[in-house]
Amino acid sequence: MLIAHRIALDPNNVQATYLARAAGVARFAYNWALAEWNRQYAARQADAAWPQPSQLSLRRQLNAIKRAQFPWMLEVTKCAPQIAIIQLGQAFNNFFAGRARHPKFRRKGKHDRFSISNDQFRVAGKRLRIPILGWLRMREALRFTGHLVSATISRQAGRWYASITVDTPDVSLPPAENQGAVGVDLGVSTLATLSTGETFTGPKPLRTLLDRLRCLSRALSRKVKGSNNRARAKAKLAKLHARIGNLRRDALHQLTSDLTRRYHTIGIEDLNVRGMLGNRRLSRAIADMGFYELRRQLEYKAAWRGGQVVVADRWYPSSKTCSACGHVLETLALGQRSWSCPGCATEHDRDVNAAMNLRNLAVSSTVTACGGEGSGPVPCTGRNRPRRSRNPTARQL
C-alpha cells in the first residue's frame, strides 16, 4: 500500500535558497522538455523520418547539453530535472489516453516543486537529508514505516513541505468500533447529516473569510506589476488562500476520522459535483464544502480500519423515498426541507430521511437475505427510478 505523508519543513535561509533553486531547475527542465517535445512532434508530422519524442530521449538530450549550456543545473540534485521530464512523459501518456488535457508550461510561484528518488534521500526522526544540501529539519516525524518510494518538495504560500511516499504492508490502526451502519447525507447548509440525527456544520471557510479575501484581492490589483509592494500583497493573498484550504481540510479530516472510527459501514451518495457547480447560485457554497475530498477520505480511512463505504447510485431517490414505508414522491422541491409521506403520514426531515435511506441501502447491499455478503448496491430500476431533472443541483441535494 502506497501512502504519502505531507510534512512541513523548517529550513534556514541557505536551505530555502537551495530549495527554490532546485524547484527552478525542475521547472526549467519541464518547460524545456515540453517545448522540445512540441517541436519534435511537429517535425515528425511533417516528415515521418523524424523519431517519435519520448521522455527517455529528452532526458538523454538534456544530459548531453546541460554541462555546456546550463551549468547552473549541476548545483542541485540531478533528480530535479530528470524526474521533471519523467513527469512530463506521464502527462503525455495521460493526454494520449484521453485522461487529461495537453500539458502546459509550469509557472514560477505556482509550480514550485521538485521530486527526489528513493536512493537520493534519507529520513531520520525529524530530519530529511537531500543531496548536496544535507539535513533538513521537519516539523514532525514520518508516521508510517516501510520502504521509501519518493519525496516531493513543494512550496505553498511561502512555506516548504515534503510529501514522502512510503510503501507499507499495512496501516496499524485499530478496527472500527462497529456501532452499526450509518448513512451520511451531504448538503450545503449542513455539511453532513447522519441517519442517527447528528448534524455536522462545516466551517465554510471561504464564506467566513470572503470579505478579507476580496479586500486583499483588490489591494493586489492596485499594485504596480514587478514592484515589491505587489510581491508583498501577493504573499498575503496566498497565505489567506492557504488558510482557507487548511481550515476546510482540517474539518473534513476530523469528520471522516470520527465516522470511520465509530462505524464499520457507511452509506453515501454518488454526487455529480461537476454538474452541481453549474448552478451559479450555489456553486460557491458547494465548492466551499469539499464533497469529493470528504468521499476520498472516507474511502481510504475506512479501508485502513477494515470498514467499507457503500456508494449509492447517482439517481437513487434518497430524499424523495419514505424511510418508513418506501413510498416515493413524484417531485420534491429543493427548498422543501420537510415533508409528510402520503402513504403512512410520517413527518420527515429531508436530510435525516435521506441519510436513513442511505443507511438502509448500505445494510441491504452488504448482507443478503441469507446473511451472506452481497455484491454491492444495485441501481434503482422500474417505476421507482427518478426522472432526470435538468437542474443538477435539485436532484443531488
Type of residue found at 76: V
Distance CA 380, CA 6 (A): 41
What pLDDT digit, counting tens, does each position of 313-367 carry? 888 888 888 888 888 888 888 778 888 888 888 888 888 888 998 998 888 877 6
Residue 249 exposure: Cα atoms within 13 Å on the Cβ side: 6
Q: Which residues does the annotation mark as catalytic?
A: 185, 269, 351
* Predicted local confidence at residue 339, as pLDDT: 82
Alpha carbon distance 150, 87 (integer Å): 13
Quote the longest CA-to-CA distance of the chain.
83
pLDDT of residue 172: 67
Regions of the chain short of the pLDDT cut 70: 172, 367-397
For residue 212, the model assigns a pLDDT of: 96
Please state, in angstroms and as integers, the Cα–Cα distance from residue 92 to each residue in 36, 38, 88, 95, 379, following that order: 13, 11, 6, 5, 36
